[in-house]
Structures are given as structure tokens and as C-alpha cells.
Amino acid sequence: MNEQQRIREIVRDYIVRHKEELELGTIGKKTLAKMVVMENPEMFDGDIAKAQENVRDIIRYLTKSRGDRHRRQIDPANAIDLDIKADASTIVKNAMRHMPSSRSIDKPNFIIPHKKVGIMSDVHIPYHDEEAVIIGVQYFLENEIDCLLLNGDTLDAWQISRWMKKGARPDIHEEMVICREFLYWLRMLFPEIPIIWKSGNHDVRVEDHMWSKAPEMAKLFELTMGHAGLLQQILHFEELKIQYVDDNTLMECGKMMIIHGHEFGQSIFSPVNPARGMFLRAKYNVIAGHMHQTSEHHEGNLNGDNHVTYSTGCFCELKPAYRRTAFTKWNHGGAILHVDDDGSFRVDNFRIKDGRVL
């Protein structure tokens, strides 16, 4: 057996071993040729690229893929048939085992099963407005809500933000202590009903700070206490029976979706009416906070389907120290979501001004 015959036998052996991959298309003839040359260097001298091209030509010859003229010349005893006529579903099914496993996580919505949900967004402790908070909580009590939702930015977390730090203000430790006192106060006023904490873009600063400054400790907390375990531990969620919803989870109550508002990004709130900007992205019934402004937008289509979006007011100071004059559209307020058994709803999107609910 001469050298060319030995090379052909080696190539034939590789084709047989990788026949299924060639059939499925998970390995190409050019790749197989490179493999033959690289794994058998003693058989190939000189120009490696030329050797690979020669081996590729042998592969095409042996698999009858060089055109009709070459097919007629090949000895049938040496030919290797590749079954490349399988239907697409069979090919994909057979190829599935070669696909790497996905790390994607399908996150279900957080379902709020209650019928009268009080929604309090953007308290920004310790920069909350005491009068607005008291009036809002009193309104919730008068309306006998059966669930209280803290819909994001209950904390401010100023010290660990990316913004310039000016002036003497409470540090993160003081903020956490005050926030914990606030949660105990709420539980005292609402001893029986569920309280849900939804993380907003300010609340998540605590977790982000830990991951950026001490990632190994963050991993440890997540391993032992789950996602955002640090925040839940510090604020005594378990003792206070407060349910935690992270900032990337959508909430659903009847036919209404509830988000904090930062999930869509700032661009959706460019229109005069924040609720309209939200509708342009969501195309569904949504309540959100984040913009500290009460607004509402209704819209239907040719099929008669109607959807409505709401943005709620805030419970924090309206003229923050870092920008006293910029936020003339901010207002105090919250919402009560009333849900019927069939999922239909009505929303009391209330504003607070001059010491009373409007």
C-alpha cells in the first residue's frame, strides 16, 4: 500500500467515525479535513493548507459529493453514502444532543390574589413626606384594603448611589434603621393583611453595591438566603411577614399588571403624560410609580378592546435637595386597585394635596 492509499484509508476511517455528524451538518468537510491533517502530522509534509485541501478533496470523492462526472468514476465499493435527505424535523431532533444547555430562566409573574390592594410607591426613606404618608395610610385604612404593596423605591440609598455626594446626610446604616422602623410601623397599623415589598431602582442599589464591592460575600448571601438575602435580613422581612419581589419580576393582579416603572427605562416617560408613554410600550393595563406623578391614559382599538395605564404619585419630598426647582410635575399620592372575581378592575388613583386626599 503506497502513501496515497494509506492517506485515503485514514480519511475513510475518519468519515466512518464522523458519518452521523457529516449527515447532520454539525461538522463540515473542511473541518474534518483539518482534523485529519492536524491529528496525523506524520502523514503530511510541506504546505499544511494544501494538504488540508487534498484531504478535503478525498472526503468529497469518497462521499460522492464532487459532481456527476466524479460519481461515475468512483468505485462503488469505496464510496460512503451520506444520508442527507432526512427531513428537517429529524435532523433537528438528532442534533439536539449537540446543543449546549441554555442558562435562560423563564420567570413567572408574581400573582397578587387580593381584591383591594393599596399601592404606595416612592417613599424614598428617609426623605419621606410624613404628612403625605400619614394621609395615605389613613386612606388605606378607611377603605379597608386587604393587601399593601410597597411598589418600589421605599428606600433611597443615597450614599451608595453613583451620584455626587454633597452635604451631611444619613448614611446607608441610618437609612436602613429608619426604613426598618417604618416597616414595623406599617405592620403595627396593618397587623393582619399581606405586605409586599417590590424592589425599585433605588432599593436595588443595596444589592448592586454588594455585588460590585464584595462579590464573594454577595454570592455567600445568595447561597444561604436567596436573591437579595442581605436586604431581607437587614429589614427583618421574615419577622414582619413581608413578601419580597425583585426588581425584574412583573406583578399581576386580575387583568392589571403592576411594575415600579424603571423597567421600561426613562424614554417611555418623555411624553407629557407618563401613563401614555407607558401605554406605548406596554399595550396593556399597567400601574407604575417611579415618575412621582399621577396620570392616566385610556386607549382602544378597532376590535373594541380597551386598555388603561396609570402612573401614581409619590410619598417623598417634592423638592429634593439635589434639585429644588426641576420637579414641578411631582405630586403626592397613591392608588387603590379594586379587582372583581373575573379580573376586571377599577383604580382609585388618588392625589394628596393641602392635607387631604383629592
CA 351 to chain centre: 31
> At CA 256, angle to CA 357 and CA 268, rounded to 5?
80
CB 51 within 8 A of CB 44: yes
Three-state secondary structure of 32-51: HHHHHHHHCHHHCCCCHHHH
Res 8 pLDDT > 60: yes
How far apart, in whole angstroms, are the C-alpha atoms of residue 324 and residue 318? Answer: 8
Res 167 pLDDT > 80: no
**Cα torsion through 128, 130, 134, 135, rounded to 10:** -90
Q: Which residue has the higher pLDDT, 271 or 288?
A: 288
Residue ranges of domains in the chain, CATH in brackets? 3-98 (no CATH), 110-357 (3.60.21)
Residues in the chain: 358
DSSP state for residue 192 in the 8-state scheme: S
- The pLDDT of residue 220 is 79
Q: Which residue has the higher pLDDT, 77 or 272?
A: 272
How far apart, in whole angstroms, are the C-alpha atoms of residue 228 and residue 204? Answer: 8
Q: Which amino acid is at 99?
A: M
Q: Which amino acid is at 247?
A: D
CA atoms within 13 A of residue 348's CA, in its CB half-sphere:
16
pLDDT tens digits, one per residue of 60-107: 888 766 544 444 444 544 555 555 455 667 667 666 767 788 888 888
Res 21 pLDDT > 90: no
Q: Cβ contacts of residue 358 below 8 Å, gap of 6+? A: 350, 351, 352
pLDDT tens digits, one per residue of 298-342: 998 888 889 999 999 999 999 887 666 656 789 999 999 999 999
Q: Give the pLDDT band (50/70/90) at residue 150.
A: very high
Q: Which three cell numbers stand for residue 78?
A: 469505496
